[in-house]
Amino acid sequence: MNTSNNPSTQTPLPSRMPQLRVMPMPADANIHGDVFGGWIMAQVDIAGAIPAARRSNGRVATIAVNSFLFKQPVFVGDLLSFYADVVKVGRTSITISVEVYAERNRLEADTVKVTEAMLTYVATDDDRKPRIIPDLVTL
């Protein structure tokens, strides 16, 4: 059942570029036919790792999922956009905020914020040990 026609749940998409866009398929659904939360968590982890790896200039490993809110259900066929931003840079860790929006019934521009999460990644070296995050280079 699609419940997104309620205007109070509709949110415009942010104007910046998402890190990731993906559409869940029937194989990503749970036994009730809605999208499985674990599948959404995996996509959030991928989206968050992109700015973390870029900022740390190398590989990262997820050390913590600090918070995760499934605010609205996700349906098979929704077009999901994942927005991921650096919120904190530590000595070896980077904390990333991820927001997920679903475009449902896309021809009707029906957009809903479905998920918010905060994750921490650690920059790692070739031995999978923490490494110091380099300073930002400004050109």
Ligand X SMILES: CC(C)(COP(=O)(O)OP(=O)(O)OC[C@H]1O[C@@H](n2cnc3c(N)ncnc32)[C@H](O)[C@@H]1OP(=O)(O)O)[C@@H](O)C(=O)NCCC(=O)NCCS
Q: Which chain residues interact with ligand X by CB under 6 A? A: 61-64, 90-93, 120, 122, 124, 128, 130
d(CA 72, CA 116): 10
Minimum separation from the CB atom of position 102 to ligand X (A): 24
Q: How far is the CB of 9 from ligand X (least distance, A)?
A: 31
Burial label, 8 (beta-carbon count in 10 A; 0-12, 13-18, 19+) = exposed
User: Alpha carbon of 43 to those of 3, 40, 47, 87: distances in Å?
Assistant: 23, 5, 6, 19
- Residue closer to ligand X by CB (options 64, 109) is 64
Nearer to ligand X, 25 or 42 (CB): 42
| 75: three-class secondary structure by DSSP | strand
Closer CB to ligand X, 10 or 62, in the complex: 62
Least Cβ distance, residue 4 to ligand X (angstroms): 31
Nearest residue (CB) to ligand X, 92 versus 115: 92
CB 61 within 8 A of CB 124: yes
Q: Which residue has the CB atom at the shortest distance from ligand X?
A: 90
Extended beta strands in 7-137, E state: 20-22, 60-70, 79-89, 93-104, 110-123
Rounded to a whole number of angstroms, the minimum distance from the CB of residue 67 to ligand X is 11
